Amino acid sequence: MRTAFHDQLDSVFDDLADICDQVRTAVRIATDALLTGRADLAERAISGDAAIDAARERVEDNALAILSLQAPVAGDLRVVVAALRMVSDLERMGDLSVHVAKIARLRTPHIAVPAQCAPIIGRMAEIAESMVARTADVIRERDVDAAAELRADDEEMDKLRRASFAEMLGSEWTSGIEAAVDIALLGRYYERIADHAVSVAGRVVFVVTGEQPTVA
């Protein structure tokens, strides 16, 4: 039986999926700024974060209203708390996109990523964006199978991170310390975006199945 509680909860999950779409856009614009050195894109990625923060506040207010007015217990309570955690993850993913954009802005009009590392960082960014896009689908469709697939992507992300270290420490690295420090931090940011995507998707699995997957 549908209840006011479930309708309100559906609306919170719709909002979470919308925020996930916003995060995807943020990752894409920050990456474009990074790989092109375009200052205008970096600024757009940085200033766009305020909208994600505002959306997070609305979702939090709605979730608290549900807790206050419906006083859910047991499984229902855990679902609302899961929603609160998902929105924290999503906000953090937005912050990490800002960190990527700030490295881009620091180096503009130059490109922070040396040509030698562009394929690895480009692929990390691609995976991160794709994971965020699929996380939005996972939230919208409550798609437990798609959530499991995200873990495979997360493993590719870890491999790419190791590859980036191998590149920097290899004898052919001619891009110096500054670029290496940028790449180390960029790798960390994209990896964290991926971790949070896995975490959000894992919470959807919990919401659907009642089973808590072991998440990062």
Which residues contact a copy of itself (rule: CB under 8 A)?
64, 67-68, 71, 73-74, 77-78, 81, 84-85, 88, 165, 168-169, 173, 177-178, 180-181, 184-185, 188
Our CB check for a copy of itself shows the closer of 41 and 128 to be 128
How far is residue 180's CA from residue 173's CA, in Å, rounded to a whole number?
9
Our CB check for a copy of itself shows the closer of 54 and 141 to be 54
Let me know: does 103 contact 173? Beta carbons within 8 Å: no
- Single-letter amino acid code for the residue at 59: V
Our CB check for a copy of itself shows the closer of 130 and 175 to be 175
Our CB check for a copy of itself shows the closer of 5 and 165 to be 165
Task: State the minimum distance, in angstroms, from the CB of residue 169 to a copy of itself.
Answer: 6
Q: Cα-atom radius of gyration of the chain, to the nearest Å? A: 19
Residues 6+ positions from 44 with CB-CB distance below 8 Å:
29, 33
Task: State the minimum distance, in angstroms, from the CB of residue 137 to a copy of itself.
Answer: 25
Look-up of token digits 């207010």: 61
Task: State the minimum distance, in angstroms, from the CB of residue 64 to a copy of itself.
Answer: 6
Task: State the minimum distance, in angstroms, from the CB of residue 95 to a copy of itself.
Answer: 9
Residues 6+ positions from 91 with CB-CB distance below 8 Å:
19, 52, 53, 56
